[in-house]
């Protein structure tokens, strides 16, 4: 029998990758947590204090947290709703498959800040969309789709920018669905919606959950898109963190907001792992 125990050589092989994560990412998280309590302060005297955490008691900070949570949730759900039908179409093939696949990959090569400016030109008050709708007589005056208080402009940009990334994960999950399983369901009388709900969605749920969690973390902590297309108030938590550190020079309070972002991401990952275990148990 083969020995399944890891040898010292195995640990040496993973040391470069794991060591990088522990050294740089771990030390950054450690310093951020310490600075939120006044230790290793950049601008002031380093001493333990809980005063910095009073920032979360302000209405502005709470509104920023709730706004970022809303953007993360709606962006992740919206991206999946747009991506799944496209992934099914590309899986089955058909006319225009190669052209559509190439068109969808374009946002992968565009930086987020540039993508935000591109969408701004489309959905601004006198942008292409409003001007076209007015020319067609569908609008009497332009709609405010940019910097709106709800954040629809941010959601649209997040979906467009991250759709190809999510599409790769969903298509990889769909590739694991056997064609004979679908054919057997159709032979037993299952319709299109039954196949979708009872076969495609359950079997690809792990990939859907992974893409949603990654999309949520990206949208929740996003800075460039929300700073360009987001509302004046409330701002995202990342934008408030940047303003607190650079404009007001309250680096320790900015560290508190950073800890909130980190803690939220860790909680969402934990919730995903529990949900993934439940879904896999239900599928079995």
Helix segments in 21-58, DSSP class H: 27-36
Is residue 31 situated within a structural domain? Answer: no
Q: Once rounded to an integer, what is the mean pLDDT over residues 98-122?
A: 75
Is residue 235 situated within a structural domain? Answer: yes
Q: Once rounded to an integer, what is the mean pLDDT over residues 49-76?
A: 89
CA atoms within 13 A on the CB side of 11: 4
Identify the domain containing residue 143 by its residue range.
55-283
CA 29 to chain centroid, in Å, comes to 20
Report the pLDDT value the prediction gives residue 74, as an integer from 0 to 100.
93
Q: Which of 181, 235, 190 is nearest to 71 (CA)?
A: 235
Is residue 139 situated within a structural domain? Answer: yes
Is residue 151 situated within a structural domain? Answer: yes
Report the pLDDT value the prediction gives residue 280, as an integer from 0 to 100.
64
Is residue 94 situated within a structural domain? Answer: yes
Is residue 9 situated within a structural domain? Answer: no
Q: Once rounded to an integer, what is the mean pLDDT over residues 234-262?
A: 89
Q: Give tens-digit pLDDT for 213-246.
A: 888 988 998 888 888 888 888 889 999 998 888 8
- Residue bearing the bigger pLDDT, 94 or 159: 159
Is residue 106 situated within a structural domain? Answer: yes
pTM equals: 0.80
- Residue bearing the bigger pLDDT, 2 or 15: 15
DSSP 8-state symbol, 236: P
Q: Once rounded to an integer, what is the mean pLDDT over residues 189-217?
A: 85
Number of domains making up the chain: 1
142 pLDDT higher than 60: yes
| pLDDT mean across residues, the chain | 82
Report the pLDDT value the prediction gives residue 141, as an integer from 0 to 100.
81
Q: How confident is the model at residue 1 (pLDDT cuts 50, 70, 90)?
A: very low
Report the pLDDT value the prediction gives residue 4, as an integer from 0 to 100.
57
Q: Give tens-digit pLDDT for 13-44.
A: 777 777 777 888 888 888 888 888 888 887 76
Letter string b/e over residues 211-248, b meaning 16 or more CB atoms within 10 A of that residue's CB: bbbbbbbbbbbbbbbbbbbbbeebbbbbbbbbbbbeee
Q: How confident is the model at residue 71 (pLDDT cuts 50, 70, 90)?
A: very high
67 pLDDT higher than 90: yes
Q: Is residue 49 helix, strand or coil?
A: coil
Q: Once rounded to an integer, what is the mean pLDDT over residues 80-91?
A: 87
Is residue 13 situated within a structural domain? Answer: no
Read off the CATH number of the domain in which 195 is found.
Answer: 1.10.3720.10
Q: How confident is the model at residue 69 (pLDDT cuts 50, 70, 90)?
A: very high
Q: Once rounded to an integer, what is the mean pLDDT over residues 88-103?
A: 73
């Amino acid at each position: 029998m083969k020995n399944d125990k890891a040898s010292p050589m195995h640990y040496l092989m993973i040391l470069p990758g794991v060591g990088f994560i522990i050294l740089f990412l771990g030390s950054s998280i450690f310093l951020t947590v310490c600075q939120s309590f006044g230790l290793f302060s950049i601008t002031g005297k380093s001493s333990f204090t809980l005063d910095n955490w009073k920032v979360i008691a302000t209405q502005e900070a709470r509104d920023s947290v709730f706004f970022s949570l809303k953007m993360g949730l709606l962006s992740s759900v919206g991206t999946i709703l747009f991506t799944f039908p496209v992934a099914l179409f590309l899986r089955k093939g058909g006319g225009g498959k190669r052209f559509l696949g190439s068109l969808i990959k374009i946002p992968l090569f565009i930086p987020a800040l540039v993508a935000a400016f591109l969408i701004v030109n489309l959905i601004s008050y006198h942008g292409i969309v409003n001007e076209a709708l007015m020319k067609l007589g569908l609008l009497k005056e332009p709609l405010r789709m940019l910097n709106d208080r709800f954040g629809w402009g941010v959601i649209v940009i997040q979906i467009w920018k991250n759709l190809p990334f999510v599409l790769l994960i969903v298509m990889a999950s769909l590739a694991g669905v056997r064609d004979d399983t679908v054919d057997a369901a159709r032979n037993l009388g299952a319709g299109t919606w039954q196949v979708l709900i009872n076969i495609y969605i359950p079997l690809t749920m792990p990939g859907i959950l992974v893409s949603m969690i990654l999309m949520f973390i990206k949208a929740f902590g996003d800075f460039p898109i929300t700073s360009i297309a987001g509302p004046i108030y409330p701002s995202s938590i990342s934008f408030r963190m940047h303003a607190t550190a650079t404009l007001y020079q309250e680096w320790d309070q900015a560290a508190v907001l950073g800890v909130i972002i980190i803690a939220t991401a860790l909680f969402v990952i934990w919730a995903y792992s529990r949900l993934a275990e439940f879904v896999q148990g239900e599928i079995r």
